[in-house]
C-alpha cells in the first residue's frame, strides 16, 4: 500500500518532551510519508499520546523540531541550551585559540535558538501571510481591470477571501481524533455545531458553505442530515466516534492523528469505525498517525509501525516486517503478549518477558537509533547491531 517514493509529509527530529523531570518523550525521530498510515504502539505511559499531542502543538516541545510539509512548525531549544552551557564550562579552562572557537560555537547555537523560537511562534502567521499574498496577487489584476458595480462586487469578495486567508492556520491541516467519544464531544452542542465549530473559527461566515460542508461530511461518515440537529447523548458509541471523525475530516486536513480511536468501542462497532477510516483514507488521500495499543488492529491498519518504550522509539519498520522479524527484545515481548482468538494456540502461547537490565548491557556502549537494514530501525548499540545483522545472514 505504501509508496516508497511518496513525498514526506511530516518529519520529527529528535523530539523531546519533558514534564519537569519526567522524560515523557525522549529524543525520537521518524517521518511519515504522504498517504501512509503510521502506527505508534507501546504500553500506557510510554509517551505515544504525548508524541501525538506534541505534533499537533498541544504542548510546547522541550527540544527537537517538527517539520510539516517541509516547514518547521514546532521547535524546542533545550538541546542548544545544553550545548551552550557545556561550551561555557569548557571555556573556563580552555586555551586562547580554543576559546575563540567556542565563542563562535556559542554564537551559532544562540542563532539557532533564535531561529527555533521564531519558527515556533510564527509558523501559523507565516502561512497566513503567504495565503494573503496569494489572494492579493490573484485579485490585483482583476481589480485593476474592473470598474463600477463589478469593482464593488469584486472588492467585497476580495475582502472576504482575504479575511479567510488571514485566519488560516498552518496547523489546522493536522487534525486529531480522540479516544473517548463521550468525553471528547461537548454535551451541550448539537452535532452540527460541533462539526461546524472549526470552520467558524477559521473565519468561514457563509452559512451556505458551512451547511454544504457539514452535510457532505456527515454523509461521508455514514450519518444522515437529520442527525445534525441532535445532541451527542442521542447517539450510540460507534456513531459518536463517527461524529469525532467528521469533526476532524471537515477541516480538510492532510494529516490525522488518531489517538486510540477504537479502544473504547465494542467489537462489532470497532470494525465499522476501522472500515470507515480506511474508506476515508483512500477516498480523501489522508495520511494518518494511528496511536493504539491493540496490536491486531494496528497491524491491520498501518503501513509502518513504530514501537515505543519509556519515551524512546525502540523499533520502526514496515508492519509486515515488524511482525515477521521483530529485533528489539521489547518488541518481541510485546508481540508475544497478543492474545489470539484460538484456544489451542493460546494454551501453548508463551509470553516473552522483557527486563532491560537483563536484555541489554549498555554500561560501555551507549545505544542509538540505527538502521539495521533498509527501512528497519532499531534502538541498539553497535554490538547488538552487529548481532542483528549476523542473525539476518544466517
Partner 1 sequence: MYKILQVNNLRISFRTIGGKLQAVRDVSFHLNKGETLAIVGESGSGKSVTCKGILGILAGNAIIEGGEMLYDGQDLLKIEEEDFHKLRGDKIAMIFQDPLSSLNPIMRIGKQLTEAMLLKGKARQASSKRNFDEKTALLEKYMLESDPMNADESKRMMNDYKQMIMKFINRERSYAKARDAVSGAREEIEDLLFYIEKNALKKPKEQLKELRRLVHDAKDVFVISDKENHLITLADSLAEGLGNQERAKDFTPLKEKLLQLRQGVADIINKPVPDLLPMAYYSYRNNDRELTGTVEENNIKYIDYYESEFARKFLEKVEKALDYSDKKHVQLRENAIQALRGGVETIQNGGVEAFKPVAAGIYEKVDASIEPIMVIKDSAAWTFSGAIKGFLKMYDDGLKNNEKRVNAFQRKQEKHDRLIAQGKDPGWKVIPPAVVDMDRVRADIQQQMVNLADKYQAMNIQEPHENKHQKAVQLLAYLNENAAGIVNKVTQYAAKAKAIKLMEEVGIPEPRQRYRQYPFEFSGGMRQRIVIAIALAADPDILICDEPTTALDVTIQAQILELINKLKKERNLSIIFITHDLGVVANMADRIAVMYAGKIVEQGTAQEVFYEPAHPYTWALLSSMPDLDTKEKLEAIPGTPPNMIYPPKGDAFADRNRYAMEIDFEMEPPMFDLSPTHSAATWLLHPDAPKANPPAVVVERIRKMKARAEVNSHE
CB atoms within 10 A of CB 101: 14
DSSP H helices in the chain: 48-55, 78-91, 96-145, 148-167, 191-201, 207-220, 237-249, 267-284, 295-301, 319-324, 329-336, 343-348, 356-359, 382-393
Strand partners, 71: 68
- Residue 31 or 381: the one with the smaller Cβ distance to partner 1 is 381
- Of 86, 163, 203, 237, the one binding partner 1 (CB under 8 A) is 237
Cα angle 268, 288, 39 (rounded to 5 degrees) comes to 75
Angle, vertex CA 72, rays to CA 68 and CA 73, nearest 5: 75
Binding partner 1 (rule: CB under 8 A), the pick from 21, 363, 366, 390 is: 363
- Footprint (CB under 8 A) of partner 1, residues 39-68: 42-45
**CB nearer partner 1, residue 7 or residue 339:** 339
Interface size with partner 1, residues (CB under 8 A): 45
CA distance 366 to 355: 17
Of the candidates 99, 351, 387, 389, which one interacts with partner 1 according to CB under 8 A?
A: 351
Cell numbers at 200, concatenated: 467558524
Complex with partner 1: residue 152 or 338, whichever CB lies closer: 338
As measured in angstroms, the least distance from the Cβ of 220 to partner 1 is 16
Which window, 103-111, 117-125, 182-190, 299-307, contacts partner 1 (CB under 8 A)?
299-307
349 binds partner 1 (CB under 8 A): yes
Q: Which residues pair with 380 in a beta bridge?
A: 368
Among 82, 98, 152, 300, binds partner 1 (CB under 8 A): 300
Distance in angstroms (rounded) separating the CA atoms of residues 169 and 226: 31
| 364 belongs to the binding site for partner 1 (CB under 8 A) | no
Is residue 215 near partner 1 by the rule CB under 8 A? no
Q: Does residue 21 belong to the site contacting partner 1 (CB under 8 A)?
A: no
Give the binding range for partner 1 (CB under 8 A) out of 3-11, 98-106, 153-161, 262-270: 262-270
Q: How far apart are CA 54 and CA 25, in angstroms?
A: 10
Phi, psi of 183 (to 5 degrees): -75, -25
For residue 368, the minimal CB distance to partner 1 (Å) is 22
Q: Spell out the residues 6+ positions from residue 185 whose beta carbon is closer than 8 angstroms to its own.
A: 194, 232, 240, 243, 244
Under rule CB under 8 A, residue 295 binds partner 1: yes
C-alpha cell at 285: 488521500
Among 3, 85, 229, 296, binds partner 1 (CB under 8 A): 296
Question: What is the footprint of partner 1 within residues 264-293 (CB under 8 A)?
Answer: 266-272, 274-275, 278, 293
Residue 394 touches partner 1, criterion: CB under 8 A: no
Grid cell listed for 145: 481591470
Cα 207 to chain centroid, rounded: 31
What are the DSSP calls for 63-116, one per residue?
A: EEEEEETTEEEEEEEHHHHHHHHHHHHHHTT--HHHHHHHHHHHHHHHHHHHHH
- Of the candidate spans 114-122, 177-185, 190-198, 236-244, the one that interacts with partner 1 by CB under 8 A turns out to be 236-244
Q: Does 155 bind partner 1 (CB under 8 A)?
A: no
Q: Please answer whether residues 78 and 16 qualify as being in contact, where contact means their C-beta atoms are separated by less than 8 angstroms.
A: yes
The length of the chain is: 394
Choose, by CB under 8 A, the member of 345, 375, 386, 387 that binds partner 1: 345
**Residue 340 binds partner 1, judged by CB under 8 A:** yes
Q: Which residue, 162 or 299, is less far from partner 1 as judged by CB? A: 299
- Least Å from the CB of residue 293 to partner 1: 4
Task: Give 85 or 296: the residue with its C-beta nearer to partner 1.
Answer: 296
- Compute the C-alpha angle 84/69/52, nearest 5°: 70
Taking CB under 8 A as the rule, does residue 22 contact partner 1? no
By the rule CB under 8 A, 229 interacts with partner 1: no
Q: Nearest distance from residue 314's CB to partner 1, in Å?
A: 13
- Binding footprint of partner 1 on the chain (CB under 8 A): 42-45, 236-239, 266-272, 274-275, 278, 293-297, 299-301, 323, 333-334, 337-346, 348-349, 351, 354, 357, 363
Amino acid at each position: 500500500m505504501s509508496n516508497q517514493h511518496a513525498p514526506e509529509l511530516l518529519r520529527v527530529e529528535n523530539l523531546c518532551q519533558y514534564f519537569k523531570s519526567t522524560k515523557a518523550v525522549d529524543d525520537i525521530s521518524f517521518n511519515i510519508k504522504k498517504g501512509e498510515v503510521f502506527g505508534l504502539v507501546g504500553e500506557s505511559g510510554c509517551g505515544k499520546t504525548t508524541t501525538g499531542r506534541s505534533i499537533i502543538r498541544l504542548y510546547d516541545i522541550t527540544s527537537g523540531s517538527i517539520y510539516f510539509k517541509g516547514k518547521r512548525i514546532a521547535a524546542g531549544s533545550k538541546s542548544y541550551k545544553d550545548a551552550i552551557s557545556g561550551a561555557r564550562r569548557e571555556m573556563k579552562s580552555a586555551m586562547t585559540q580554543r576559546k575563540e572557537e567556542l565563542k563562535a560555537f556559542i554564537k551559532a547555537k544562540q542563532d539557532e535558538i533564535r531561529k527555533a523560537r521564531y519558527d515556533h511562534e510564527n509558523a501559523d502567521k507565516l502561512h497566513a501571510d503567504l495565503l494573503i499574498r496569494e489572494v492579493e496577487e490573484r485579485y490585483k489584476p482583476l481589480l485593476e481591470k474592473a470598474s463600477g458595480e463589478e469593482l464593488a462586487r469584486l472588492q467585497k469578495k476580495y475582502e472576504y477571501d482575504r479575511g479567510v486567508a488571514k485566519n488560516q492556520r498552518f496547523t489546522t491541516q493536522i487534525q486529531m481524533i480522540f479516544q473517548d467519544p463521550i468525553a471528547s464531544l461537548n454535551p451541550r452542542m448539537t452535532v452540527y455545531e460541533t462539526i461546524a465549530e472549526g470552520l467558524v473559527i477559521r473565519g468561514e461566515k457563509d452559512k451556505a458553505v458551512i451547511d454544504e460542508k457539514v452535510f457532505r461530511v456527515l454523509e461521508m461518515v455514514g450519518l444522515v442530515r437529520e442527525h445534525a440537529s441532535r445532541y451527542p447523548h442521542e447517539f450510540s458509541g460507534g456513531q459518536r466516534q463517527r461524529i469525532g471523525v467528521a469533526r476532524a475530516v471537515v477541516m480538510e486536513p492532510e494529516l490525522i492523528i488518531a489517538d486510540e480511536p477504537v479502544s473504547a468501542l465494542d467489537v462489532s462497532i470497532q470494525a465499522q469505525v476501522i472500515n470507515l477510516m480506511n474508506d476515508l483514507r483512500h477516498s480523501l488521500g489522508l495520511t494518518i498517525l494511528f496511536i493504539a495499543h491493540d496490536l491486531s488492529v494496528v497491524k491491520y491498519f498501518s503501513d509502518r509501525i513504530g514501537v515505543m518504550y519509556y519515551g524512546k522509539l525502540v523499533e520502526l519498520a514496515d508492519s509486515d516486517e515488524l511482525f515477521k522479524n521483530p529485533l528489539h527484545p521489547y518488541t518481541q515481548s510485546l508481540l508475544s503478549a497478543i492474545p489470539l482468538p484460538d484456544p489451542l494456540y493460546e494454551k501453548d502461547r508463551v509470553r516473552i518477558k522483557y527486563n532491560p537490565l537483563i536484555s541489554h548491557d549498555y554500561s560501555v556502549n551507549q545505544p542509538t537509533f540505527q538502521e539495521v537494514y533498509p527501512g528497519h530501525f532499531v534502538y541498539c548499540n553497535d554490538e547488538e547491531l552487529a548481532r542483528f545483522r549476523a542473525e539476518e545472514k544466517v
